[in-house]
Amino acid sequence: MKGKFITIEGPDGAGKTTQVRKISDYLKSKGFNVLVTREPGGTALGEKLREVLLTSEGESPVPEAEALIYAASRAQLVKKVIEPALDDGFIILCDRFVDSSLAYQGWARGLGIEKLADINGWFLKGVWPDLTIVLDIDPAQSLKRISGKKDRLESEALEFHRKVREGFLKLSEIYPDRIKVVDASQSPHEIFKTILFELKKSGIITL
Ligand code: TYD
């Protein structure tokens, strides 16, 4: 049986992790087999690459290297976790996926959305998400929600985060059937209700 692949995207501090947990709890309560994973990470190798990507210490990767390290983590996750779980009929919820690379590296870093779609398309093949929820919020608001020490990407200037947001909105125009934008300035409960509506509208769940 073929499963379904849902990704949750958005700028830093948009509340993705809370929503992934809410969606997962809901789907499990309805009897679905759910697998939750995240990027960068989700495999042993991916978690090591995550450390390399997010540390603020030492030499920063140039944008091209950054794009390829995210892609390496993704390739590992796709082959080791996502493809097998789809074959087993799971609903996969992934906290960030390819659209983060298109928005952060492709648009905000200026490498080009098409270039990043090409690089990732090489190994994704048919494994593009069935549905992508973009939690949309003004980064001036979302960055305030981040507590503790900021990682390398979170420490970027507000202007960079504005470009990331712009990138996600552009992607929703490029892939209107797959990407749905949800207003993330609402309360977590309101956001969840809107996501549920999108899940039902997309036909992924019928309950
Ligand atoms: P994540 O831990 O999801 O950040 P947060 O939970 O703070 O939103 O992701 C780590 C960072 O990596 C985040 O700043 C976005 C960035 N990122 C990219 O730049 N490109 C990518 O392809 C991915 C998956 C993430």
Mean pLDDT on 31-43: 97
Mean pLDDT on 34-61: 96
Residue 108, CA atoms < 13 Å, CB-side half-sphere: 25
Q: Name all contacts of 23-27 with Cβ < 8 Å and 24+ positions apart.
A: 23/93, 23/192, 23/195, 23/196, 23/199, 24/93, 26/192, 26/196, 27/91, 27/93, 27/205
Mean pLDDT on 79-95: 98
Whether pLDDT at 179 is above 80: yes
Grade residue 1 by pLDDT with cuts at 50, 70 and 90: low
Q: Determine the distance separating the centroid of ligand 1 and the alpha carbon of 40, expressed in angstroms.
A: 7
Grade residue 102 by pLDDT with cuts at 50, 70 and 90: very high
Grade residue 53 by pLDDT with cuts at 50, 70 and 90: very high
Residue percentage of the chain with pLDDT more than 90: 91
DSSP count for the chain of H helices, then E strands: 9, 5
Amino acid at 84: P
Mean pLDDT on 13-23: 95
Kindly list the structural domains of the chain, giving each domain's residue range(s) and its CATH number in brackets, ordered by start: 4-201 (3.40.50.300)
Q: Give yes or no for residue 104 CB within 6 A of ligand 1.
A: yes
Distance between start and end Cα atoms, the chain: 19
Q: Determine the distance separating the centroid of ligand 1 and the alpha carbon of 38, expressed in angstroms.
A: 9
Q: List residues bridging with 134 in a β-sheet.
A: 9, 181
Q: Determine the distance separating the centroid of ligand 1 and the alpha carbon of 100, expressed in angstroms.
A: 7
What is the C-alpha separation between 171 and 162, in angstroms, rounded?
14
Q: Give yes or no for residue 165 CB within 6 A of ligand 1.
A: no
Q: Give yes or no for residue 99 CB within 6 A of ligand 1.
A: no
Q: Determine the distance separating the centroid of ligand 1 and the alpha carbon of 20, expressed in angstroms.
A: 15
Q: Which is the closest atom of ligand 1 to the Cα of 96? A: 24
Q: Determine the distance separating the centroid of ligand 1 and the alpha carbon of 64, expressed in angstroms.
A: 16
Instruction: Note the pLDDT tens digit of each residue in 122-166.
Output: 999 989 999 999 999 999 999 888 888 999 999 999 999 999 999
User: Whose Cα sits closest to atom 7 in ligand 1?
Assistant: 12
Q: Give yes or no for residue 168 CB within 6 A of ligand 1.
A: no
Q: What is the mean pLDDT of the chain?
A: 96
Helix (H) or strand (E) holding 180: strand 179-183
Grade residue 207 by pLDDT with cuts at 50, 70 and 90: low
User: Which residues neighbour 176 within 8 Å (Cβ) at sequence distance 6 or greater?
Assistant: none
